[in-house]
Amino acid sequence: MQIQLSKKIVVLGSWMLLGFASPVLASNIENLAKSLAKIRGEVEALQSQLDIEKEKYSSKMSALNSQLADLSVEERRQKLSIEKLQQSIDKLGVTTQQAEQSGEHLKPVLLSALADYKRHIQGGFPFKVDDRVKAIHDLENNLVNQQIDPSKAVNQTWSLIEDEIRLSKENGIYQQTILLNGEKVLVDIAKIGTVFMFFQTKDNQSGMAKRSQDGGWIFETVSDSTDRERIRNLFDSLKKQIRQGYFELPNPLSK
């Protein structure tokens, strides 16, 4: 009798354990389901964010490709300008060989070359345009008024055009008066060849030269803090004579 009673107690105890375990197991399953639902929600949120980042990246790459195309057009424009200047130098070289034959015959050729050169400056890169044009005017006047020998005028013209070609290869900081918001302002200029020009005013405004719709150039300030910082870094580097390297700059060719 005692043995049978013990067995009944053991059996009864097992059922009691199962009875207690069922609510705990159900609670664990419920918690696991909640965790899975939370993880699923996080995964979906991350996937949505990833899709957004992919779209941003695609848009950014498209914009960069567009800007790269603009830069390529500007590069070709500058190369063509330099080629024309080189042709002028070659033409002057031939003219110089003929200089001893007739000074009067040389004068109209020189005046024509100077007129071409002046148009190039007036319609081109907006760096110290008034100073560069004045140098041509002075030489033209001296030539017309016979204050300079045509053969010497050839050498001066040659030197001016060589300066223009050298200008396209140099980076540096200069001072220049620009037209900003309808007013003439003296600013510091950071010139990158004859493609990019950035400026800083005395009241800490920053900006750049941009091509206008009619093909000319205008000066505009930048409001974006990142662009201002990039321009400041460029000026600091050029002041330290760091003229080569990697620089992040605002794109004046962007629409």
Q: What is the pLDDT of residues 101-156, one digit of tens each?
A: 556 677 888 888 888 888 888 888 999 999 999 999 999 999 889 888 887 888 88
1: pLDDT strictly greater than 80: no
Which of the two residues, 235 and 87, has the higher pLDDT score?
235
The Cβ of residue 221 has, within 10 Å, a number of other Cβ atoms equal to 14
- Cα–Cα distance for residue pair 206/188, rounded to 1 Å: 10
Cβ contact 138:145 at 8 Å = no
Q: What percentage of the chain exceeds 70 in pLDDT?
A: 70
Give the pLDDT of residue 157. 85
Split at pLDDT 50, 70, 90, the class of 177 is very high
pLDDT of amino acid 112: 86
User: Does residue 97 carry a pLDDT above 90?
Assistant: no
* pLDDT tens digits along 197-237: 999 999 989 999 998 887 789 999 999 999 999 999 999 99
Confidence bin at 66 (pLDDT 50/70/90): low
Higher pLDDT, 62 or 249: 249
Do residues 172 and 160 make contact, with C-beta atoms less than 8 angstroms apart?
no
Token pair recorded at residue 78: 């500058």
- Owner of token pair 């006047």: 141
Name every residue whose Cβ is closer than 8 Å to that of residue 149 and which is 6 or more positions away in sequence. Answer: 103
Query: So what's the pLDDT on residue 214?
Result: 79
Sequence-distant (≥ 6) Cβ neighbours of residue 195 within 8 angstroms: 71, 74, 75, 78, 125
Which residue ranges make up each domain of the chain?
A: 77-167, 171-239
The answer to whether residue 190 scores a pLDDT higher than 90 is: yes
Give 182 or 18, the one with higher predicted confidence: 182
Q: Is 47 exposed, middle or buried (0-12, 13-18, 19+ CB in 10 A)?
A: exposed
CA 83 to chain centre: 24
pLDDT the model gives residue 130: 92
Average pLDDT, the chain: 78
- Give the CATH class of 77-167: mainly alpha
Question: Nearest-CA neighbor of 164 among 201, 124, 220?
Answer: 124
Confidence (pLDDT) at 140 = 93
Q: Where is pLDDT greater, at 148 or 255?
A: 148
Q: For residue range 5-33, what is the model confidence (pLDDT) as tens digits?
A: 444 444 444 444 444 456 666 667 777 77
**Residue 98 pLDDT level (bands cut at 50, 70, 90):** low
